[in-house]
């Protein structure tokens, strides 16, 4: 396995409440951990929403440990990778500060090898209060910043890169949660690192499509990049740190259509760099927004593969105020609901 998973049961504590030492499942959030430990009542019941506001008015810390052997430490680098960090967090490894986070919607990567040791290692994530930081940012502005008074119960949440409905909405309760909602891992990097892989479709009037693939890479020595798509494989020899581009042409593509308009065939894209491998499913379709002028102004018509699509509106809201409960099973149940 090319990575070490840090998912599992961590310990949740708060400097303002030294008596609290609760297990927390990561990925997960602090409110659900406290609910599971019997330290807060169900925030959805009666007026309990008010009774649990002390949680968001406190700082929180989660801690865990992990083991490393000599083979791990022989790697060129050991990269801590995490995303959906909510939101104001400082990451510490063996009492060394390694990363500051302030954007819930970013992925973070940092080489932590200089701070690691053989055997047991400690990781801590220290979360600061979102409401205080929002107010601090507002106070620094030379003018008044409007905020969603009718929905948010916490002022100036719009100054934070955080899910806005955490501080309440017309359909949801006010739970300013903190936590990490995606898997945390340490990636072992021996020679090569495979970064972001992006695709772009360029359509020709004949109906053929060119798939442009851009691969972010970092290689300490000459390494082959293998990219395969639609039964065709291409190879590039890479070294250094840059972005590589590979193009494929599909003359008669099987078209992907929205639900109700046709089938959804998917092509397999595979990218390999050294011991790193990525596989992705891609639908080939031409998307357009028609804004041509008409007798009353301009159109706003979505077209897929040249065909006008009736885009029916829907307002999707978060599954739960506690992200720990946003399971794949619940999402699939809603997607398939009649």
List, as own/partner pairs, every contact residues 102-111 make where C-beta atoms lie below 8 angstroms and the sequence separation is at least 24, other chains included.
Answer: 102/160, 102/161, 103/161, 104/161, 104/162, 104/163, 105/161, 106/161, 107/81, 107/82, 107/83, 108/80, 108/81, 108/82, 108/83, 109/79, 109/80, 109/81, 110/79, 110/80, 111/77, 111/78, 111/79, 111/80
More confident site: 325 or 294: 325
Res 119 pLDDT > 90: yes
How is residue 128 annotated by DSSP? P
Cα separation of 154 and 89, whole Å?
19
Query: In what helix (H) or strand (E) does residue 31 lie, and over which residues does it extend?
Result: helix 30-36
Q: Does CATH number 2.40.420.20 belong to domain 191-285? A: no
Size of the chain, expressed as the number of residues it contains: 338
Asked if 93 and 122 touch (Cβ cutoff 8 Å), the reply is yes
Two structure tokens written together for 120: 């047991």
Q: To the nearest whole number, what is the mean pLDDT of the chain?
A: 95
Two structure tokens written together for 51: 């009774």
pTM of this prediction? Answer: 0.89
Q: How many Å separate Cα 333 from the centre of its chain?
A: 22
- pLDDT given for residue 247 in this prediction: 96
- The percent of residues above 90 in pLDDT, for the chain, comes to 86
Pick the CATH number of 3-186 from 3.30.70.330, 3.40.190.10, 3.65.10.10, 2.60.120.260: 2.60.120.260
Environment class of 143 (CB within 10 Å of its CB; exposed 0-12, middle 13-18, buried 19+) = exposed
Q: For residue 178, how many other CB atoms are within 10 A of its CB? A: 27
3-class secondary structure per residue, 237-259? EEEEEEEEEEEEEECCCCECCCC
Q: Is 151 helix (H, G, I), strand (E, B) or coil?
A: coil
- pLDDT given for residue 25 in this prediction: 98
Cα separation of 278 and 257, whole Å?
25
- Taking only the tens place, the pLDDT of each residue in 184-205 is 999 999 888 898 999 999 999 9
Domain boundaries, the chain: 3-186, 191-285, 289-335
Two structure tokens written together for 136: 């601090």
Count of CA atoms in the C-beta half-sphere (13 A) of 160: 29
> Is the torsion defined by CA of 163, 166, 318, 88 positive or negative?
positive
Q: Is 72 helix (H, G, I), strand (E, B) or coil?
A: helix
Question: Which residue is it, tokens 């400097």?
Answer: 15
Res 236 pLDDT > 80: yes
Two structure tokens written together for 319: 């599954």
Q: Rg of the Cα trace of the chain?
A: 24
Res 310 pLDDT > 90: no
- Taking only the tens place, the pLDDT of each residue in 266-305 is 999 999 998 889 999 999 999 999 999 988 999 888 999 9
Closest CA to 28 of 84, 88, 90, 105: 84
Strand 119-127 relative to strand 60-68: parallel, antiparallel, unpaired? Answer: antiparallel
Report residue 228's pLDDT band, with 50, 70 and 90 as the boundaries: very high
Pick from 114-118, 217-221, 277-281: least confident: 217-221
Strand partners, 180: 28, 85
């Amino acid at each position: 396995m090319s990575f070490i998973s840090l998912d599992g049961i961590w310990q949740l504590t708060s400097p303002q409440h030294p008596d609290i030492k609760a297990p927390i499942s990561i990925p997960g959030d602090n409110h659900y951990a406290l609910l599971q430990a019997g330290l807060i009542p169900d925030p959805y019941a009666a007026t309990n929403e008010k009774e649990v506001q002390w949680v968001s008015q406190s700082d929180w810390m989660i801690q865990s440990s992990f083991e490393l052997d000599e083979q791990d430490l022989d790697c060129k680098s050991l990269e801590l990778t995490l995303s959906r960090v909510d939101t104001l967090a400082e990451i510490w490894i063996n009492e060394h500060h390694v990363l500051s986070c302030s954007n819930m919607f970013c992925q973070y990567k940092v080489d932590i090898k200089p701070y690691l040791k053989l055997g047991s290692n400690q990781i801590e994530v220290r979360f600061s209060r979102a409401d205080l930081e929002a107010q601090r940012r507002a106070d620094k502005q030379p003018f008044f910043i409007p905020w969603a008074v009718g929905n948010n119960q916490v002022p100036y949440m719009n100054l934070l890169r955080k899910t806005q409905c955490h501080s309440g909405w017309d359909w949801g309760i006010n739970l300013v949660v903190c936590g990490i909602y995606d898997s945390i891992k340490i990636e072992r990097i021996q020679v090569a690192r495979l970064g972001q892989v992006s695709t772009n479709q360029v359509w020709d009037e004949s109906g053929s499509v060119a798939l442009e693939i851009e691969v972010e890479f970092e290689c300490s020595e000459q390494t082959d990049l293998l990219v395969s798509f639609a039964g065709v494989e291409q190879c590039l020899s890479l070294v250094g740190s840059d972005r590589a581009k590979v193009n494929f042409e599909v003359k008669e593509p099987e078209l992907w259509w929205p639900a109700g308009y046709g089938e959804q065939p998917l092509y397999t894209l595979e990218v390999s760099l050294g011991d790193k491998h990525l596989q992705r499913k891609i639908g080939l379709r031409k998307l357009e927004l028609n804004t041509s002028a008409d007798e009353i102004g301009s159109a706003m018509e979505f077209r897929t593969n040249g065909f006008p699509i009736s885009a029916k509106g829907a307002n999707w809201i978060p599954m739960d105020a506690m992200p720990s409960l946003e399971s794949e099973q619940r999402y699939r149940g809603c997607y398939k609901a009649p």
